[in-house]
Homo-oligomer: A and B are copies of this chain.
Amino acid sequence: MIVVTLGPAGTFSHELAVRLYGDDIELLPTIRSIIKRVAAGGAKGLVPIENSEAGGVGETLQGLLEFDVSITAEAYMPVRHHLAARGDPGRLSVIYAHPQTHEQCSVLLDRLGVEVVHTSSNAASAMAMQKDERSGAVISETAAAVYGLPVAERDVQNSEGNTTRFIEISALPRGSAGTTKCSLIVDPELDRVGLLADILAVFARRGINLTRIESRPSRRGMGRYLFFIDMETAEGWREAKEELKSMTTVRELGCYARMEVPGL
């Protein structure tokens, strides 16, 4: 089955998709368009969901809320950013960077003091630099190679452990055999004191580890939130899920396992 991921050529998503799935890949320009395409059936998708420096990817969380897709696998990719420049990086007129890349490389960019212009992807940064002789760009190794740009400074990310977690999505859930993690969206609809504490206690009482909880706006007004919850599929997780459903509105995003990434 074809895999849809974030283009243009040279994004981290593209690099990871090639490593995982080979050549049967289609590139789309936005995360929302990928998730929408997957929901329509006939394709799998690969999208970033969180980064260890910048946090959750809002477009992906929003897309999971809007479209009926399941998470079928996850994969982790170390993020290495490089500063592409044709001469002295301190003399550039502008540096192109995606907002999350900017956040992940803020130490270097603050030190250089060159104006940073935000772009819609790392590949877009590379393309913008191609057209502008006095500019630089913070991009991946793959993007530098694809667009033929010289790397002036390697590994400019703030943190050596910088990692992005990706999810594979599909119109249908995978079978539960061999899964290690399940993701849920909990919508408390009516807020009351202690509701989130009660929700979390359902898992704590059974010794089930929650690997992540992220609040997102419910879009029903300021101060009203939904929660994305990831849990390990330890003993008792099915009962925990059923108990939760009796308390509040729960949507199951799917259970899945981690994919190993060839060559990493």
By a beta-carbon cutoff of 8 Å, the part of chain A in contact with chain B is 32, 50-55, 58-59, 62, 76, 99, 103, 106, 110, 116-120, 158-159, 161, 163, 165, 193-194, 196-198, 200-201, 203-205, 207-217, 219-223, 225
Contacts and interface: CB of A to CB of B under 8 A. Distances in A.
A103 B66 CA distance: 13
State the number of copies, please.
2
Contacts of A208: 193
Given A55-B58, A165-B222, A211-B223, 10 more contacts: A32-B106, A54-B58, A55-B215, A194-B201, A194-B204, A197-B200, A212-B215, A212-B225, A213-B215, A214-B215
18 contacts: A52-B219, A52-B221, A53-B217, A54-B217, A116-B120, A118-B118, A118-B119, A158-B219, A159-B219, A161-B220, A161-B221, A161-B222, A194-B204, A194-B207, A196-B200, A197-B200, A197-B204, A200-B200
Q: Top 3 closest A-B pairs, CB basis?
A: A194-B204, A197-B200, A197-B204
Nearest to A191: B209
Nearest to A99: B99
Contacts of A197: 197, 200-201, 203-204
A209 B163 CA distance: 34
Contacts of A225: 212
A156 to B, nearest CB: 16
Given A59-B103, A99-B99, A103-B58, A210 B222 contact: no
A158 B62 CA distance: 13
Contacts of A165: 222
Nearest to A33: B110
Among A50, A197, A210, A214, the one with the most B-chain Cβ atoms within 10 Å of its Cβ is: A197
A261 B221 CA distance: 18
Among A119, A159, A161, A222, the one with the most B-chain Cβ atoms within 10 Å of its Cβ is: A222
Contact of A209 (B161, B193, B214): B193
B217 A51 contact: yes
Given A211-B223, A212-B225, A217-B55, A120 B120 contact: no
Contacts of A220: 161
Nearest to A160: B221
A110 B54 contact: no
